[in-house]
Homo-oligomer: A and B are copies of this chain.
Amino acid sequence: MGEKDKAYVEIYDTTLRDGTQAEDVNLSVEDKIQVALKLDELGIDYIEGGWPGSNPKDVQFFREIRNYHLGWAKIAAFGSTHMAKYRAEEDPNLRALIEAQTPVITIFGKTWDVHVRDALRITLERNLELIRDSLAYLRPHAERLFYDAEHFFDGFKANSDYALATLKKAIEGGADCLVLCDTNGGTLPQEIAEIIKEVRSRLGKDISLGIHAHNDSDTAVANSLMAVSVGARHVQGTINGFGERCGNANLCSIIPGLVLKMGFKCKAGEPERLRRLTEVSRFVFEIANLPHNKYLPYVGRSAFAHKGGVHVSAVSRNPETYEHIRPELVGNSQRILISDLAGKSNVLYKARQFGISLSAEDPVVKEIVVRLKERENEGYQYEAAEASFELLMRRIVEGRKETFGFFDLISFRVLDVKRLEDERSLVEATVRLKVRGEEEHTAAVGNGPVNALDNAVRKALLAFYPELADMELEDYKVRVLAGEPGTAAKVRVLIQSKDGEDRWGTVGVSHDIIEASWQALVDAIIYKLLKSRRKRLEAA
């Protein structure tokens, strides 16, 4: 099948509206603009910006986005059919849609007979008028006009004649596409297929159908792909599957599924755009200030990560053995998890990545492998602590001291006192170290022992290394390792740090959580100092 024989599927993104219904997802107007520009670069066809009738933030978004030139995407405004007490031309909600001045308008209406009576409290006949009249009124104001049939599948199962009647009215009103919504997310793919087939046999194969799925049954992506396989040519979803409850259908899975597996085409599926998919996914997580979900299909950090021994050896011979697509197609990459990769070729691979020059014959490679295995036996793990891994390699390859000469540690002390009778407590840390020949002895309190230590060491170093001011500890994780029972067990601490430009992870292991935290803290600081020094040298 040639490229031009492939059928086109329109991609309609609702991250900015339905996506923000997710618990913990909140976007400012500025965030929304940034996401819209990114979606445009990706080649999304339609970007639903919000519901101008429902909140002022969305009105502002529609006003501001007009100042930007979009290369491909068209902005859509969303709203409901007009209220029963008004005529269409009097309805404030429809007026707000027109005032948003978007090339695309999408309105939703009721399909499910019970809800027309119980929620809208109007007759079934009146609801049909609302649908037709709302669309007909909006028709001249929009280049493209979409109708979202809310609760379509539940409504169809309850009363198929009425559900179809609502669609016919939407066609009469002038809708370009009828989008069948599984609003509660309760429908399974086999039902989606059956119902869409029946809709097409009763309304004709020429009508243009779309799908809008939610993930409550854990089948939103499958439902969307299934709908396309039986004739839908418009898919609504969100980046990363953000959305109310369990989320909307995830476009980051749908787009590659359509293009790489089902033989359809869409703008965002063109090879050079599809390669940006992973970046877009991570960008949207960043903007929403949420950690990236590493297990996401196609775009997650674990999506092409291999841990099991059998898999690793097979996958290095032939990636197809355990990878369903080539990760580069979506801008992702294969990862062999460091914990399982204490082999020579992996050390060389990482050295290249870190910019450390190292030849395969160099005996130091063997030394690194041995050291790495020792550390892993002690409980260190470098999967999420690549900065500590880089420091470990540099210490060996470049013959560096533990702290790379930035400072020498003398001692630290932590005191944690609780008086339970009056709930008074004191958490205090002191740190002694030597920097450029001077001894620094500082003390600080904190809301816990590790926090106090963190405060004390920064206090000691900041005067000498002002660049530490823009370094932040972003995340702190503790894992108790198996081995000794109970509180005598070893712990592994992972610290994630960031500055304006980078993020880096470091690790520490000890029976003593304070000592383990100290190791990870010191590595994080040294990594930052090395990075600044390298930058200064490059600039000089």
Contacts and interface: CB of A to CB of B under 8 A. Distances in A.
Interface stretch (A67-75, A306-314, A365-373, A460-468): A306-314
A425 B516 CA distance: 13
Contacts of A28: 482
Interface in A211-236: 215-219, 221-223, 225-226, 229
B22 A295 contact: yes
Interface in A351-398: 383
Interface stretch (A39-47, A165-173, A239-247): A239-247
A478 interface: yes
A510 interface: yes
A115 B319 CA distance: 12
A201 interface: no
Given A307-B244, A449-B416, A513-B513, A324 B184 contact: yes
Contacts of A447: 488, 511-512
A322 B183 contact: yes
A128 interface: no
A378 B117 CA distance: 39
A225 B193 CA distance: 14
B23 A261 contact: no
A417 B413 CA distance: 4
Interface stretch (A98-106, A269-277, A469-477, A527-535): A469-477
A219 B323 CA distance: 15
A297 B246 contact: yes
A331 interface: no
Interface in A439-493: 446-451, 453-454, 472-480, 482, 485-489, 491
B475 A486 contact: yes
A414 B487 CA distance: 14
A118 interface: yes
B486 A245 contact: no
Given A261-B217, A383-B23, A415 B418 contact: no
A257 B446 contact: no
A184 B511 contact: no
Nearest to A247: B295
A436 interface: no
A257 B246 CA distance: 15
B518 A418 contact: yes
B512 A449 contact: yes
Contact of A414 (B185, B225, B415): B415
Nearest to A450: B487
Contacts of A223: 222
A433 B294 CA distance: 44
Nearest to A183: B322
A321 to B, nearest CB: 6
Given A215-B295, A448-B515, 15 more contacts: A21-B308, A23-B383, A188-B225, A190-B226, A217-B253, A241-B295, A245-B306, A246-B296, A289-B479, A412-B417, A413-B418, A416-B449, A448-B487, A448-B512, A478-B478
Interface of A: 21-24, 28-30, 54, 115, 118-119, 151, 183-186, 188-190, 193, 215-219, 221-223, 225-226, 229, 241, 244-247, 250, 253, 257, 261-262, 289, 294-298, 300-309, 311, 314, 317-318, 321-325, 337, 383, 409-421, 425, 427, 446-451, 453-454, 472-480, 482, 485-489, 491, 495, 497, 510-515, 517-518, 521
29 contacts: A21-B308, A22-B302, A23-B295, A23-B302, A151-B321, A184-B321, A189-B190, A189-B226, A190-B229, A216-B303, A217-B253, A217-B257, A217-B297, A218-B298, A245-B305, A246-B295, A246-B297, A289-B479, A410-B421, A411-B421, A412-B420, A414-B416, A415-B415, A425-B515, A447-B488, A448-B512, A448-B513, A448-B515, A487-B517
Closest 10 CB pairs of A and B: A473-B486, A186-B324, A222-B222, A218-B253, A448-B512, A28-B482, A447-B511, A478-B478, A218-B221, A409-B420
